[in-house]
Structures are given as C-alpha cells and as structure tokens.
Amino acid sequence: MLIVMNQNATPQEIQAVVATIEANGYTARPIPGGERVSIGILNNKGPIDADAFLGLPGVKEAVPITRPYKLVSRESQMEDTIIHVGDVVIGNGHLTLIAGPCAIESETQAMTIAKLVKQAGAQIFRGGAFKPRTSPYSFQGMGLEGLKRLAKVRETTGLPVVTEVMDDETFDLVEEYADIIQIGTRNMQNFSLLRRAGKARKPVMLKRGMAATIDEWLMAAEYILEGGNSAVILCERGVRTFVNHSRNTLDISAVPVVRKESHLPIIIDPSHAGGRRDQVIPLSRAGVAVGAHGLMVEVHHTPEKALSDGAQSLYPHQFETLCHQVRAIFDSFKEQ
C-alpha cells in the first residue's frame, strides 16, 4: 500500500505517518515525488487496513499496490526516475549512449577506444575489469589494474565509466572506481550481490538474466531499491531462445512493457543480444525506436585482436554511424 500525502503536508505530518506504519510492525519508505511525498508500506504479510492511516493529518489517500515489485512499480512512483551521473542524464527525454570494449586490455587500448567513442558521440565509457567468462581458460579481465585504467580514462576524457561487479568480495573495490556499477546477466538473481548493491552509493545497471521473465527482472531490481538505492538502470541484453542466427534474441517488447510497469530507465545492449557485428546497428535503431532511454555498445579499434567479444564489437567508424542514426530516430519522436 502507498500512503499519498497532500501537496502541502509538513515534515512532521510525514514523520507521524512513518511512525504509525512502523508502530503497526511494517517498514515505511518515503518516496519523494515531483509534487507530493508518498510513503510505501513494505514487509506486510497480509492486507493492510487503510483506515489506520486515512484519518492522519496530511494524508490524501491510500492506494493499494497490486504488483509484487512495489518500489519499482509505477504504482508507487508515477514520474520517471531520472539518474544523473556527472553531467550525463539517464532517463525520460534523454538518449544516453554508452560505448567501449568488452574488456579493458591495456591502458593504450582503453584510452584509444575511449577517445574515439567520445568523438563519435558516446557520453559514458564501458569496459570490464572483472569478466564473467564461460570458460575458465578465457581472459578473465585485468581486475584492479583494469579499474585503474578506467579511472585514467575518466580523468583524461571526462567520461564517466561503467564496469561490472562479479561478487561481494570485490564490490567495495568496484564501487570505489566505477561511476555506474554493472550487474551482469549471470548475476541478476545473485541476491547477496543485489542486497549489497542496495547499499551502494553509486547507480547500478542491472542486466536482464538471459532466461528471466520481466517480473523476475523487476523483482531483482526491487532488492536494490528495497536496500535503499533507487538509482537503478535496467538493461535488456537479449534472452536465450532456440535460434542460432544470433547469440541471444533481443526482446524488443521488453522496453514498452518495462516503461509501462516501472519508472526506472531502461537501455538496450545490442552487442550481447546479437553477438554479431552486422546486427548491432539495426538492433540499436530498433531499440531506440521502441523507446529505450539509451544503448550500451561494444566498440574496439582492432576487434580481430580483442581478448573478448571481438566478433560483436563495432569498429569506431561504425559506432559513429550508429550515433548519427539513433540520434535522428530519437529526435524524430522526442517532441511528440
């Protein structure tokens, strides 16, 4: 249930509602809105009697939340969440382009690609330092050395950086270096990692599990919001299907569904969805056309020599083409 306060409710009235919720044995979560504060009631085992709150000063109404994901749902927050990372804005009304290699391989590699993608129009740099690889014999990432190269990229180019966290042990380290902490598809339901992300002071990009339903994905995001971190960016990166013409199947319909169900921003990763370079630009155009708030694209200056995901990495000039095309698509419906 959501207790919606009057527009002119005082901090004391809000506090009194919080205290009443807690006195009933529930958890209260104030949600500041554009015009008024709402207070979510969490941790109720059964139905809640609205009458206990309706008579309190400053209370406008009590709205039942029908979805299992409460804080993530539009029922608890009507306005879109907008996330600021330095000067970059992610959310409704903006198209945020994130690009970089799958993995940080060296300082020269990271810096070369960062300068090229920035010139082409990227606003955020991506690069894995801790890599979840299918084979234990594949390149596992540079670890801390990779994080340091990311910090150098930020310092030199001014681009904020996003990088993946793989486990609780390295969370503090990744949080220290990253501007956005990425949770990958394989960890979408790693609940201890999600709880730790809920305590993080940086935005989290939560990728959809490769076989997760949208409900499961939004419930995973709920863990992070429930923990106290409301800066979550959802990332659709394709799901496993029977096809073999692409690495995964980009679930385009996830974008309008998520935008209807949730106030959180949603971006598309066309690189891991397609898995092949020639699919990345068309999937990007589709992602933006269907309403994604951004894209995260793998780019490499010498993809034939890349230590991971070279086959799906764009050449920098292709990324430049992508940027022009998707900006044109975004601008064509932005004003409507």
Residues that bind Mn ion in the complex, under the rule CB under 5 A: 102, 309
Which position among 154, 196, 263, 272 is part of the footprint of ligand PEP (CB under 6 A)?
272
- Token pair 């950086």: residue: 161
Interface mask (CB under 6 A) for ligand PEP, residues 86-105, using x and -? ----------------x---
Question: For ligand PEP, which is the closer residue by CB, 24 or 189?
Answer: 189
Residue 207 as a binder of ligand PEP (CB under 6 A): the answer is: yes
Interface mask (CB under 6 A) for ligand PEP, residues 182-201, using x and -? --xx----------------
Question: For ligand PEP, which is the closer residue by CB, 41 or 124?
Answer: 124
Alpha-carbon distance 186 to 321, whole Å? 31
CB of residue 258 to ligand PEP, shortest distance in Å: 16
Strands 161-164 and 88-90: unpaired
CB of residue 89 to Mn ion, shortest distance in Å: 25
Which of Mn ion, ligand PEP, none lies near 237, with the C-beta cut-off 5 to 8 A by kind? Answer: ligand PEP
Alpha-carbon distance 270 to 158, whole Å? 25
| 111, 121, 279, 300, 320 from 116: Cα distances, Å | 9, 9, 21, 9, 9
The alpha carbon of residue 168 and the mean position of all alpha carbons in its chain are separated, in whole angstroms, by 19
Residue 300 as a binder of ligand PEP (CB under 6 A): the answer is: no
Q: Which helix (H) or strand (E) holds 326?
A: helix 316-334
Indicate the residue type of 54: L
Q: What is the CA radius of gyration of the chain?
A: 21
Binding site for ligand PEP (CB under 6 A): 102, 128, 132, 164, 184-185, 207, 237, 269, 272
